[in-house]
Amino acid sequence: MFHKNDDDDDDPLTTLIIPSSTTTNTLSFNENNNNNMNMNMNMNMIMPINPLISRSSSFNDFNNNNNNNNNRRRRATSEDSLSTISTSTLPKSSFQNHLSSHTLFFTRLGFNFLTYLGVGYKWITRFLALSCYAVLIIPGFFQVGYYYFFSSQIRRGIVFGDKPRNKLDLYLPKSNDGPKPVVAFVTGGAWTIGNKAWGSLLGQQLSERDIIVACIDYRNFPQVTISDMVADASRGISFVCNNIAEYGGDPNRIYLMGQSAGAHIAACALVEKAIEEAGEGESSSWSLSQIKAYFGLSGGYNLYKLIDHFHSRGLYRAIFLSIMEGEESLHRFSPEVTVQAPNFANAASLLPPVVLFHGTGDYSIPSDSSKSFSETLKKVGVRAETILYEGKTHTDVFVQDPMRGGKDDLFDDLVAYIHAGDAEASAKDAAAPPRRRLVPEFMLRLAHIVSPF
């Protein structure tokens, strides 16, 4: 049983794991309007789960410095290259208290999840591996956490909707010389532990290159299921499209990006929007014409192909189907399947260019997921390509590599796409100093080995 203390009412993160409705010994989920079957999950059953978080190229028109990295990156692309394509500042003396409270929350989250899923040998092993992984990257975690709470360049908790956790964080460049390109980012978290703060490292680094980053929060399972997550993300995208100019962003240069589960959610929002604009559904407050390109990092786009893989990894079929609102809904929430429908032809022409990034060593979501989606998109007329990072895992590209400092293939690729056609910005990128290392190399290598993702 989930236990909610009185103090939790003031904790904005409590809704990550504690549903808003009255908690009982069982949780019931309605699978679909056409199916009146309820799934009752006993809180005491032993059901281990393996969490999914993210891990992670090269293209010819990068500068010659990238040639040294071709042995570590592969590019699968069509002939049509895409390379042209209100906050209060906390007092610093309170940093330890705020960091401790958030650490305590996520510890409680883990134990609540243990109660919900039951305790089994496999799950405990994964949990211990996750604990070791967290300890190894903690030097970087402290530095990023300090930046997140105290940087004057971050606008945290901007409300974009009327649902719980309908908030986003904005990472703003220091310079304000003209409208900036924007990345609207949907973070990962296995549809269960996603949080906008997960994007703080990406936000910090891209903002240093004069790119605004909007990290969009959304509600997680078991509080909601996938359709609500997609709706939350869509509301956040709408806010960015319609309001980013007030924060110095260029509304004509907005890039949508998602990572892991966030890549899946963002892709679903993109496909749903295409169907709406093609006249097969109700329109809403943002347009695909405002999205310059979609970047998907380590995402899964065909749930039929992934359900058995997730089951073998510990995200068991019964739970996964509850998240996705039943087996009959897998088609709707599999973008790769949806775009192949005969009645999607008109909608396909509305989709922006798509670039999918993936590590070949990713065993949480195999890189074949991105390759297959890219090939499917090209078959229906969408400009798409896949950029593969040789040997990189689900967390390497998103966590370890950015904390390593210096050369970062994914970061360089993102910046090159966003600044393509902007000679002045590209010149600044070329002259930018190397990024600072956050974690010693031996700790990052150990983190790569013990990571359960």
Q: Which of 54, 57, 238, 260 is catalytic?
A: 260
Residue 309 appears among annotated catalytic residues = no
Region 282-300: what's the mean pLDDT?
Answer: 90
Which pair of structure tokens corresponds to residue 37?
């079957």
Q: Which of 232, 362, 401, 409 is catalytic?
A: 362
**Cα(350)–Cα(82) distance, rounded to whole angstroms?**
16
Straight-line distance from the first to the last Cα atom of the chain, in angstroms, rounded to the nearest whole number:
27
pLDDT value at 68 more than 70: no
Taking every pair of Cα atoms in the chain, the longest distance, rounded to a whole number of angstroms, is: 61
What is the dotted CATH code of the domain comprising 43-82+103-450?
3.40.50.1820
99-103, 147-151, 294-298, 385-389: least confidently modelled range:
99-103
Question: Which pLDDT score, from 0 to 100, does residue 103 have?
Answer: 54
Question: Which pLDDT score, from 0 to 100, does residue 119 have?
Answer: 45
Q: Where are the domains of the chain?
A: 43-82+103-450
> What is the three-state SS of 391-447?
CCCCCHHHHHHHHHCCCCHHHHHHHHHHCCCCHHHHHHHHHCCCCCCCCCHHHHHHH
Question: Which pLDDT score, from 0 to 100, does residue 124 have?
Answer: 74
Give residue-wise pLDDT tens across range 21-53. 333 333 333 334 444 333 333 333 333 334 333
Question: Which pLDDT score, from 0 to 100, does residue 13 have?
Answer: 37
Residue 260 appears among annotated catalytic residues = yes
Region 334-354: what's the mean pLDDT?
Answer: 96
Global pTM? 0.77
Q: Which residue has the higher pLDDT, 339 or 8?
A: 339
Region 273-294: what's the mean pLDDT?
Answer: 85
Q: Is the bond into 222 cis (omega within 30 degrees of 0)?
A: yes
Residue 334 appears among annotated catalytic residues = no
